[in-house]
């Protein structure tokens, strides 16, 4: 599909002025075998639309014998959303899901009342060097769905709409954009898109969604005369139309949606509108009341603070 035929906006026009509400610089976190850059939650912002957690994974180079090894761990009250640009991850969960995710594919795992999963390297790949690059995000569930039954869905790269013209490529992961809609099912109004721009391209971003952000993965971009580097999260002001100019070949993630129905409590891998529910989840994991992951039940990540 091609992008809608629309006139290129004028960089720096009045509708772009002060269009950036916040700039969030991710914090580095070492999760064992590699480093992630965490932009959400931050001191500046807890959520953008339903998105309550945003990690850039890599780009990481695994040498022979290395790889990603995230042991089984629990979640409640959210959906984990995994999208890769390079490499692959082997997902297994307590529902019995067994799925290899590859670039431009999507894993959408709804924890609801509780789920356990692991993310591993396939053993046969450990003998060769390889790269991993992607985004793992969490979306909070509406209060009425926090205790929904857990579920897992995988979407292949061919299932999501791709819109192109001579200088832009937009993969619509979730929600609606530029007259197209993604088949990915979400619990609330959600926007998520993977955008590639060639140097010099102009991308209009309209104010359709109440809360929006751009995350710069690769290349420099300019908005209203301000230059932004890779690895920055730009919170866009509600109601403003703006223009993104690619100064280099660039890759961006556009995400957001409707504001969530109230704040959330976050502790470790648990998200809830209720502090008491998080305390219950802690006790359930401590007491081994969560279901185990078939084929990956020998080890697990203990509750933080336990020796």
CB atoms within 10 A of CB 172: 24
How far apart (Å, rounded) are the C-alpha atoms in residues 47 and 45? 6
Beta strand ranges found along 27-97 (DSSP E):
27-30, 35-40, 51-62, 69-75, 78-86, 89-93
How far apart (Å, rounded) are the C-alpha atoms in residues 277 and 57? 29
Q: Give the containing element (helix H, strand E) for 276.
A: helix 275-286
Question: In which residue are the tokens 């300019």 written?
Answer: 222
Is the distance from CB of 5 to CB of 219 less than 8 angstroms? no
CB atoms within 10 A of CB 124: 7
Question: In which residue are the tokens 């945003």 written?
Answer: 54
Binding site residues, as ranges? 73, 75, 117, 119
Binding site residues for Fe cation, as ranges? 73, 75, 117, 119
Residue closest to 71 by CA, chosen among 138, 117, 102: 117
Residues 6+ apart with CB under 8 A from 254: 177, 191, 192, 193, 195, 205, 212, 213, 214
- The SS3 of residue 283 is helix
How far apart (Å, rounded) are the C-alpha atoms in residues 7 and 180? 18
Tokens representing residue 290 in the block: 């969560």
């Amino acid at each position: 599909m091609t992008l809608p035929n629309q006139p290129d906006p004028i960089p720096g026009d009045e509708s772009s002025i002060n269009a950036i509400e916040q700039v969030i610089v991710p914090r580095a976190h070492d999760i064992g075998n590699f480093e992630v850059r965490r932009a959400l939650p931050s001191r500046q912002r807890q959520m953008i639309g339903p998105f309550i957690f945003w990690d850039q994974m890599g780009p990481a180079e695994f040498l022979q014998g290395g790889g990603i090894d995230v042991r089984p761990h629990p979640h409640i009250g959210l959906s984990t959303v995994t999208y890769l640009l390079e490499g692959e991850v082997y997902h297994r969960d307590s529902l019995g899901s067994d799925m290899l995710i590859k670039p431009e594919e999507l894993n959408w795992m709804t924890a609801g009342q509780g789920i356990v999963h692991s993310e591993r390297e396939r053993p046969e790949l450990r003998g060769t060097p390889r790269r991993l690059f992607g985004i793992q995000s969490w979306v909070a569930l509406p209060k009425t769905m926090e205790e929904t039954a857990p579920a897992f869905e995988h979407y292949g790269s061919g299932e999501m709409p791709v819109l192109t013209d001579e200088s832009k490529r937009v993969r619509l992961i979730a929600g609606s954009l530029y007259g197209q809609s993604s088949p990915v099912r979400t619990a609330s109004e959600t926007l998520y898109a993977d955008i590639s721009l060639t140097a010099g391209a102009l991308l209009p971003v309209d104010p359709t969604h109440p809360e929006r952000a751009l995350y710069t993965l690769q290349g420099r971009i300019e908005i209203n005369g301000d230059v932004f580097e890779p690895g920055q999260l730009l919170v866009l002001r509600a109601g403003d139309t703006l223009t993104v100019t690619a100064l280099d070949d660039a890759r961006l993630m556009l995400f957001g949606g409707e504001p969530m129905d109230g704040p959330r409590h976050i502790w470790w891998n648990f998200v809830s509108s209720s502090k008491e529910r998080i305390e219950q989840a802690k006790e359930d994991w401590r007491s081994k009341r969560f279901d185990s992951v078939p084929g990956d039940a020998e080890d697990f990540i203990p509750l933080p603070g336990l020796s």
